[in-house]
Structure 1
Amino acid sequence: MEIQVHAITLAVALTAAAVLPQAGFAQNEGGEYYVVQQARGASTVSLGGTVIPYKEVTLSAQLPGRVKHLAGIEGDTFEKGTLLVALDDSELLAKRNAALAQLANADAQLRAAGVQYNRELWSPQSKQAMGGMGLPNLFDQMFTRPMESFSGNRNQNVERRADLYASGVQITQAQNAILSAQSQIQAIDAKLRDAISLAPFDGVIMKKFVEVGDTMQPGQPLLIYADVEYLQIMVDVPARLRPGLYEQMMLEAELDVTGQVVPVRVAQIFPTADSQRHTVKVKFDLPQGVSAPGMYVKVRLPDLTAPEMNHPIIPVSAIRYNGSLPGVYVVGKQGRPELRLIRVGESLDRGLVSVLSGLSAGEQILRNPPNGIASGWSDSLDRR
C-alpha cells in the first residue's frame, strides 16, 4: 500500500514538472506558454516619415523652344552626362553662323587697319602719286611745301600725327568689332548649352512633364531626376524630441509594407524649426534595397521628456481580436486559459509588443493560441 502511494506521488510530480515554464515558455494541450516579461528603458515615440531619394533635381527649360529629344520614361536609368532632354536649336545655330561671319569681317578690318597704319608710319608720302615725269611733284616737295610750312599755312608734322591717329582709331574699332562678335558667340553658346539637359549624376527619371513636340517656355519643368541607389527618410520631428537626437545616431525604423524593422542612421538635422508647426526636419539614412521612394516608414525616436518605459511585453502572435478589442489567453489558477482584454502599446523588435494595461509581469499566456480554443472570460482591463 505504501509503495502505491509513493508511485502516485512520483507521477504527479513528473506531470507538474512537464507543465512548468522553462526559459519563458512551456507546452500544454492548449499551445505554448509564455511568461510575461517586464520591459525597462527609455520611452520611444514612433513618427511617420516618407522615403526620399538621396539626391533629386528638377530640370526646367531655360529658354523657349520645341522639345525635339526625350531620353526615356519614368524608371529609366542613365549615367552621368547622358543627354536627357533637348530643345530645337535651329534659330540659335543660325545666329551663331551670323556672329561667326561678323567675327571674320572684323578680323579682316583689323588686318587692313594695321597695314594702313604701317604705311602711314613708314611711307607717309606714298599715297600721293607723282605726276608727269615726276619733276612737278618733286619741285612741289622741294620748294612749295617747305615755303607753306615756313609761311605758317601748313604744318606737315601735325598732319602726319593726325593721319597716324586716324589709322590707330581704325585698328581700335576693328579690335572692338572682334570683341563684340566674340561676345555674341559666347552668349549664343550659353543658350545652346541651356537648350539641352544632361544627367547631373547616375540616376533615374522619377517623373516627366513633357513629350517630344511640346513647346516650352522658360521656367517650365521638364522632368524630375533622382539618385535612388541610396535612400533617406524625411521626418518632421517635434521640437521637444530634438535634444535626444544627434548626427550618426543609430535608431530603428519599421517599414509600412512589410513591417520589417531595419536600422537607420541620423544623417542630417536641419538647423531651424518650423515656426508654424514647431517641428524640425530630420533625415535618416536607410539600408540599401529595403524600400522605395515615396513609401511610408515609422521611425522610433527616444523621448527624453517622458518617464522611463516600464510595461509588460508579449509576443504579437499571442494577441487575438474579438472584433476590434485585443485580448490574450491567460492561464488561470486551475490551468484553464481565460481570454483577457488588454490595451496594446508600442510595437518592438523581435515580434514583441508592449502592453499598457491588462497584464502583469510573471503571468503565463498562450504564445500562439490555436483556433477554436475554449476559454472563460476575465475582465481585468485595468490590471497592470
Structure 2
Amino acid sequence: MSVALVLRPWSLVLPLVALAGVAQVQAEMPAARREAPVRGVVRPVDQATLSSELGARVVELPLKEGEAFQRGDLLVAFDCRRQQAEHQAAEAAHREARIAYESQVYLQRNQAGSRFDIDVARARAEKARAEADALKVRLDQCTVVAPFRGRIAELGVHRHETPQAGRPFMTILDDSALEIELIVPSVWLRWLAVGATFSFLVDETGATYASHVIRIGAAVDPVSQTVKLIGRLDNPDDKVLAGMSGSAAFERGM
C-alpha cells in the first residue's frame, strides 16, 4: 500500500509567515545602546579650605598631611595671648562704662542728673559691650576644630610659623563620601534622569564601579551644549581617592 504525500501551498506559507513575524517582533524590541564614554572626576562631598585673620603664631598642629581626623578634633591652635589681653581690656572698659551709666541713673533719681547724660552713658556702655563681643569672636578663632570627619589634603604651615592673614593654610576633605562630576552632551537629557545607572572606570586603579546619577546641573552651557552631572559610586572602596579621574559608560534603551 503506497501513501502519497500531498504538499498544499498554505502548509509551506504558514511557517514562513510565523518566522517573519518573530523577526519583526525581535526588530521592534528595544535594544540597549552604549553611548560613547565621558570623562569624570572624583570629588569629595565635603571639603573646606581654612584661613585665619588673626596673624598669630601656630602653637599646636597635631596632624600632618594625609592623616585622618574625627569631627571636633583640634586641627590648629594659635598663640592668642595678645588677643586675650585685648579682650580683657575691652571687658574692663565695658564694666567702667556700665558703672558710669548706673551712676547717671542714680543721679537722675535724685534730681541731680539729666536725661541726656543717661542716654550718653548708656550708648557708651553698649559700644563697650559690642567691642568686647567682637574681640570674643576673634578669640574663638584661636583654635580650629574639624567640622566633619576626614583627612588633611593640603597643609601649608608648620608649628611656630605665622600664616599670612586671609591666606589659606590648610585644606581638609571628607574621603568617606565621594561624588563623580561629569560633563555630558545636553542632548542626553532626552533620556537621562536622576537615578540613571552607569559604570565608572577609574584610571588610577583600573577598577570599575557601579554608579548612579544623583543630580543634574541647573543650566546647559550654550557654547559647548553640555550639562554637568553628579554621580555617586554605589560601593566604593578605600582605593578610590578624591581627584582621581576616569570614564563613565552609559547605556540607554532604543
The reply to whether TM is greater than 0.5 is: yes
Aligned to 1:266, what secondary structure does the other structure show? Answer: strand
Contact 1:265 1:284 in 2 (8 A): yes
Instruction: Give the one of 69, 88, 92 matched to 1:101.
Output: 92
- Give 1:193's match in structure 2, choosing from 119, 122, 140: 140
Which residue number in structure 1 is paired with residue 215 of structure 2?
268
1:136-147 equivalences under 5 Å are none
Q: Which runs of 4+ in 1 moved over 6 A?
A: none
Distance 2:217 2:229 in 1: 6
Aligned equivalents of 1:104, 1:54: Cα separation in 2 = 46
Inter-partner Cα distance in structure 2 for 1:91 and 1:275: 54
Match of 1:158 in 2: none
Which fold has the larger relative contact order, with Cα–Cα distance below 8 Å and residues 6 or more apart in sequence?
Answer: 2
Give 2:157's aligned residue: 210
1:172 to 119, 123, 140: 119
1:257 is displaced (CA, Å) by 4.1
Percent identity over the alignment is: 26
Give the aligned partner of residue 293 of structure 1.
Answer: 242
How far off is 1:251 after superposition? 1.6
CA RMSD after TM alignment: 2.3
AA aligned to 2:157 is: V
How many Å apart are 1:117 and its aligned residue? Answer: 2.2
Matched, 1:113 2:104: yes
CA contact (8 A) 2:197 2:250 kept: no
The superposition leaves residues 86-144 of structure 1 with CA deviations (integer Å, 9 ceiling, x where unpaired) of: 33322221211111111121222223223322333xxxxxxxxxxxxxxxxxxxxxxxx
Match of 1:65 in 2: 56
- 1:33-182 aligned within 5 A: 41-120=32-111, 163=112, 166-182=113-129
Deviations 1:50-101 (A, max 9, x none): 2111211111223433323223112222222222123332222121111111
Q: Rg larger in 1 or in 2?
A: 1
Give yes or no for contact 1:230–1:288 (8 Å, CA) kept in 2. no
Change (3 A) 1:249 1:41: closer
Q: Distance in 1 between matches of 2:150 and 2:59?
A: 22
TM-score by length of 2: 0.77
Report if aligned partners of 1:233, 1:297 keep a CA contact under 8 Å in 2.
no
State how 1:213-252 maps to structure 2 within 5 Å. Answer: 213-252=160-199
Maintained 8 Å contact 2:209/2:236:
no
What TM-score does the superposition give when structure 1 sets the normalisation length? 0.53
> Alpha carbons of 1:53 and 1:107: their partners in 2 closer, same or farther (altered >3 Å)?
same
In structure 1, list runs of 5 or more residues that go unmatched: 1-39, 121-162, 309-384
Q: Deviations over 1:134-177 (max 9, x none)?
A: xxxxxxxxxxxxxxxxxxxxxxxxxxxxx5xx443333232222
Report the counterpart of residue 7 of structure 1 in structure 2: none
Q: Between Structure 1 and Structure 2, how many residues are aligned?
A: 222
Q: Distance in 2 between matches of 1:214 and 1:275?
A: 47
